[in-house]
Amino acid sequence: MKMSNLESILDTAVEAAKIGGGILRRYFDEGVSIRDKSSGGGKSYDLVSDADEESEAAIEELLRARYPGHELLGEESLQSGDASAEHLWIIDPLDGTNNFAHRIEHFAVSIGYYQSGVAMAGAVFNPVTDDWYTATRGGGAFRNGKPVSVSPVTTLGQAMIGCGFYYDRGEMMRSTLAAIEECFSHDIHGIRRFGTASLDLCMVGCGKLDAFFEYQLSPWDFGAGALFLTEAGGTITDAKGDPLPIKKSSVLATNSALHASMQEIVAKHA
Ligand code: IPD
Ligand code: CA
Ligand code: CA
């Protein structure tokens, strides 16, 4: 794809994220009721609100008008989108719903564009801090228009590591805690759990975190952030070191230098 076409795709992603972000911002300021996504009445921590749904609907409207032939895959009403489509948009209309629900200003809209399975453009937008993370394939990664790159850290003993917990509180949580414990045995500087996977990946891309892992994420969580990270010089794979599929997957994202050592830890507890 020509760079000029890619730039207009990115412009559309930014425009859509701005619209979605405006909706999130309004609900965040005015208040919105949060619902539990579980249908069976069991315990669930998977939340949703009118903000998630309205943001996705507005993003969908813009993308369908602009690119009628393109496929959309998103967390709310767009889960049946065909991930193998030649032109695919991957949308998380509100990443970090739990932060949003608890009035923590750390959530985002995430929009990625994939061509035949390859990430080509992405935008992640925090509408409260007004931070933009954008990338195009081969064009670099930018935070608020300024180029960024991953950290130069080469040993776990210098590392700040981000992680995430899937909503599951069983086996996967125990795996995550075991991996965290092993990270600490390497005298890392610290562990952080910020609660918005798209922003976690961007934080690795910006060199704030040196690595990030989570044992289960969905494509809308990492669709845009994965490109941002690799364009910033990072590496992203699943826990085994295989390329990320466009479906639920474990995720390991690093500044590249730490990938092998982090993968050893993360794979052991997967
Ligand atoms: C969640 C966030 C969180 C991650 C969860 C995701 P949501 O997305 O990205 O950081 O730990 O696994 O599901 O539900 O807030 O869109
Ligand atoms: Ca998400
Ligand atoms: Ca979401």
| Fold of domain 3-147 | Fructose-1,6-Bisphosphatase; Chain A, domain 1 (3.30.540)
Q: pTM for this one?
A: 0.96
pLDDT of residue 155: 98
Q: Where in the chain is the domain with CATH 3.30.540.10?
A: 3-147
Q: Is 185 helix (H, G, I), strand (E, B) or coil?
A: helix
Q: Where in the chain is the domain with CATH 3.40.190.80?
A: 156-269
Q: Which two tokens stand for residue 22?
A: 């405006």
Query: Ligand 1: residues within 6 Å at CB?
Result: 75, 92, 95-98, 164-166, 195-197, 214, 217, 221
User: Could you tell me which residues come within 8 angstroms of residue 229 by beta carbon, excluding any fewer than 6 positions away?
Assistant: 141, 150, 201, 202, 204, 205, 235, 236, 253
Q: Is 251 helix (H, G, I), strand (E, B) or coil?
A: strand
Rounded distance from Cα 166 to ligand 1 centre (Å): 7
pLDDT in tens, 129-177: 999 999 999 999 999 999 999 999 999 999 999 999 977 788 899 999 9
How many percent of the chain have pLDDT more than 70? Answer: 97
Residue 24 has pLDDT above 80, yes or no: yes
Using 50, 70 and 90 to split pLDDT, how confident is the model at 45? low
Rounded distance from Cα 2 to ligand 2 centre (Å): 30
Q: Which CATH number fits domain 156-269: 3.40.30.10, 3.40.190.80, 1.10.10.10, 3.30.499.10?
A: 3.40.190.80
Pocket test for ligand 1, best of 34, 52, 95 (most atoms within 8 A of CB): 95
Q: Whose CA is nearest to atom 16 of ligand 1?
A: 95
